Structure 1
């Protein structure tokens, strides 16, 4: 755990009435993201949200999960079975364009997670966390649509599941490992460069930040741990930071002309 710092100081927080499953910035400094039942413009300070789009699916059994913005300025997010994703591969992958229109890009997922995009926009990395334990490398066309999907990494070790991910400036992939006690870094050809060990098992997401974009911020979870494991992992659920020897990339911004300054006055 050399170089890993636990961040115990709590920053600003805002209570919200619905679960936010993913979030991103827009080109006009607004927030967008997914709730369980669709893609929204978000105002977390005032706890208001305006639905932009929602694919025609059964939200009593399916919900949205992780998401991110691609290099075209369009938002991607995947779905999963709400109650039993282990036994139901009913998740799918959607893209929301500048007009807010959704398009189905891929299907047959247990638990979608971690979309991130190469700088040239040619590839997206995405995971099916549960059961398959795979990171996929997806080829994207010039129009941004998904062309093909291939397995980039398969975690066949029991109880190690790829979760959230990000890319650095050299296009190395950083993968948070649920059940894997840390974060792995891989080259573009899939070679493991390093494992950053954490004192907690359930690692959920990683992203670069800081003034020079060289600090990796890592989120973790305490949910689902037994009482015994919570005693053994007192820092579960904390935010960690790790000073890297590289730099990340600025996050892509969602481009949407219709998200003007008044758009975030949605119903609560």
Structure 2
């Protein structure tokens, strides 16, 4: 495998999102938000299993007790792969029924950072949150229509937040209290770059970003300078995740939502799960601290 993306699974996701590598099971979890599906991809098989979620599901992160913590439209749920059952846990923004949860990551302590957004992608009702020790607090920018990221540097010292519609990514230093400090500009998208979608950091601290409507994934160094661009055969690249036994494979989800019949015919791989091998690999994903 090279820097040229190859389709490795084709569930034809309407809005593929949230890839996360499960080191314990050596598999990749990802979702189709609009079809309320959770997928498990085993690259060794390569088998693709799926489950129906009880609502639009934005992400699923492995926890240290074998379950997955999932972000749904109504809030946080636990998923048990052994039984295939979802269990509601914590409601989020119950006063904003038009919102849903969209993207997430863990930090080195096992705390979970996630964002909410307007499900109609218009109203600036989204915020970022941090879950630690069973407690949730707002942490990061708010009044955003579509939150994305967040992503955390491998040394745990910097977090990146994305405002997709505004085309902006911010950075912030994480303090001794585990919370972000003042926001500073990191990258602004423009021209034919598309919209910044989900992001992840590599082992060197570079930030990989999926480019929705941009036909690419782009990589920026810690100074915000673009250092790599990988072209895809479909327009909507949504989120990336490092995986494989050596964390050297970069997986990317994609979407075909709202495409016309002509666009679908011209982009037959829209909705596929892709993979390629960048020059720099990833760093381990800390599991959610459930217990």
Structure 1 length-normalised TM:
0.88
Match of 1:121 among 138, 156, 160: 156
How far apart in 1 are the matches of 2:47 and 2:189? 34
5 Å matches for 1:1-268?
Answer: 3-8=4-9, 11-44=48-81, 46-83=83-120, 85-86=121-122, 88-98=123-133, 100-106=134-140, 107-130=142-165, 132-157=166-191, 160-257=194-291
Q: 1:68 to 1:2 in 2, by over 3 A?
A: closer
Deviations 1:205-258 (A, max 9, x none): 11111121111111111111111110110100001111122210111211132x
Whole-Å Cα distance in 2 between the matches of residues 34 and 73 of structure 1? Answer: 16
Contact 2:54-2:86 at 8 Å conserved across structures:
no
Structure 2 stretches lacking a partner, 5+ long = 10-45
- Structure 2 CA distance for partners of 1:93 and 1:2, relative to 1, 3 Å: closer
1:82 is displaced (CA, Å) by 1.9
Corresponding residue for 2:22? none
Distance 1:40 1:2 in 2: 36
Partner of 2:43: none
Larger displacement relative to structure 2 (201-210 or 53-62): 53-62
Q: Distance in 2 between matches of 1:249 and 1:191?
A: 21
CA deviation after TM superposition for structure 1 residue 173, in Å: 0.7
CA contact (8 A) 2:57 2:71 kept: yes
SS of the counterpart of 1:13? strand
CA distance in 2, matches of 1:153, 1:208: 21
Residue 29 of structure 2: aligned partner: none
- 1:35 to partner: Cα distance: 0.8
Which piece of structure 1 moves more, 7-16 or 192-201?
Answer: 7-16
Paired residues of 1:72 and 1:144 also in contact (CA < 8 A)? no
Q: For the Cα contact (< 8 Å) 1:16–1:44, is it kept in 2?
A: no
- Give 1:45 shift: 5.4
- Cα distance in 2 for partners of 1:33, 1:219 equals 17
Q: How far is 1:56 from its partner?
A: 4.5
Please give the secondary structure, in 1, of the residue aligned with 2:224: coil
Aligned partners of 1:145 and 1:118: how far apart in 2?
A: 14
Q: Secondary structure at the match of 2:49?
A: coil
Alignment check: 8 A CA contact 2:93 2:99 kept: no
- 1:113-134 CA-to-partner distances (Å, cap 9, x unmatched) read 121111222211121111x111
1:193 and 1:29, CA in 2 relative to 1: closer, same or farther beyond 3 A?
Answer: same
Root mean square deviation, CA, Å: 1.8
**CA shift in 2, pair 1:158/1:57, >3 Å:** farther
- 1:148, CA displacement in angstroms? 1.6
Q: Distance in 2 between matches of 1:55 and 1:229?
A: 36
TM-superposed CA distance for 1:55, in Å, is: 3.6
CA distance in 1, matches of 2:90, 2:132: 10
- Cα gap change, 1:89/1:79 in structure 2, threshold over 3 Å: closer, same or farther? same
Residues in 1 aligned to 2:193 and 2:260: alpha-carbon distance in whole angstroms: 15
Structure scoring higher RCO (CA < 8 A, sep ≥ 6) equals 2
Distance, in Å, in 1 between the alignment partners of 2:88 and 2:239 is 25
Distance 2:258 2:82 in 1: 29
CA distance in 2, matches of 1:2, 1:77: 29
Q: Return closer, same or farther for 1:190/1:56 CA change in 2, 3 Å cut-off.
A: closer
